Amino acid sequence: MSAFGSVFMPEMAITWFDGTAWSTPDLVSSDSIQLHPGAHVLHYSSTCFEGLKAFRHDDGTIKIFRIDRNMARFSQSAQLLALPEIDQAVTTKMVTDLVAHFADEVPAPPGSMYIRPTLFGTEPAIGKAAAPSTTACQYVLLSPVGDYFAGGDACLRLLVDDQGMRCAPHNGMIKSGGNYASALRPIMEAKAKYKADQVLFCPGGDVQETGAANFLLIDGDEIITKALDESFLHGVTRDSILTLARDMGMKVSERQLSVDELLERAAKPGCEAALSGTAAVLAPVGTLIYGDKEISVGNGKVGETTVKLRQTLNDIQWGKAEDRHGWLTSI
């Protein structure tokens, strides 16, 4: 089986900003892109992206999940990185037209079509370290993906890091490649030393997120997660899960969570923890590693509430349950 996100459709949608206006979107080969070696993005990381999915329903229709939220975040990321402004309606049409073009390739459940809109600065100017790119490129890639849990629903091991941070705090809510790159070294070190799957960044003892996903603590009928601010990514899946939890009558607490409280609660019987993101929806966490000690979350196994919330969201995405919140867009 190919690694998640490593297989692409042969064509992509693309548009270029010349400093004044965006070109008419075009369909081109997705195997390469031509850039000047001095392109702003290659030197100053002026780039952002999105990740969303299209799903095939039993009646053959194709639905895209929460594209409006992803486009809003994409636009916000562009603004915060001082990249040329995108037209959300145009970008949305690029996505829907491309998915429609490859509709026959959208996998049936439990697979889906992963969608990756990307924006970056193209101006060839290595003297602009403190100035934005006046030109840009925007494209949309498609990648058919299978069942994220095909290898088994194994619980993750997280290293709790109360010293480092995933990225610069004022850039946390931007979905930019640089934020992921800055988390790579501590993640690799955690894997080598502790066999950890991810690092849970908790600067100053404030529980935030891992290198690539939001963190949720589930204690009985309560979900606890950090309140939204600019220091971490405002996940669309996170928002969806919290909405469904409220629908189920659960208490949702978006507030500061300290490492001390996390470790105290996690050790209680019945407690659960999970990472939320587009790829896995909810991935169960079984072990927290802190100060060379391992703390099992609850019984260290997959929690019932985690499975229930994930299945509830999957059922909506695949058309097996009513879309009460209007999250699905038909192509």
What is the per-residue pLDDT across 12-62, written as a single tens digit (0 to 9) for each?
A: 999 999 999 999 999 999 999 999 999 999 999 999 999 999 999 999 999
pLDDT tens sequence across 166-193 = 999 999 999 999 999 999 999 999 999 9
**Mean pLDDT value across residues 84-110:** 98
Residue 207 has pLDDT above 70, yes or no: yes
Q: Measured on CA atoms in the order 60, 9, 123, 78, is the torsion positive or negative?
A: positive
Q: Is residue 301 packed enough to be buried (19+ CB in 10 Å), middle (13-18) or exposed (0-12)?
A: middle
> Could you give the CA distance from residue 90 to residue 104 in angstroms, rounded to a whole number?
23
Instruction: Give the model's pLDDT for residue 148.
Output: 82
In this prediction, residue 281 carries a pLDDT of 94
Say if residues 232 and 209 touch (Cβ distance below 8 Å): yes
Average pLDDT over residues 152-161: 93
Q: Which domains does the chain carry?
A: 11-145 (3.30.470.10), 156-317 (3.20.10.10)
CA distance 22 to 86: 9
**CB atoms near residue 267 (< 10 Å):** 13
Q: What is the pLDDT of residue 1?
A: 58
Average pLDDT along the chain: 97
Quote the pTM value.
0.96
Cβ-based neighbours of 2, under 8 Å, separated by 6 or more = none
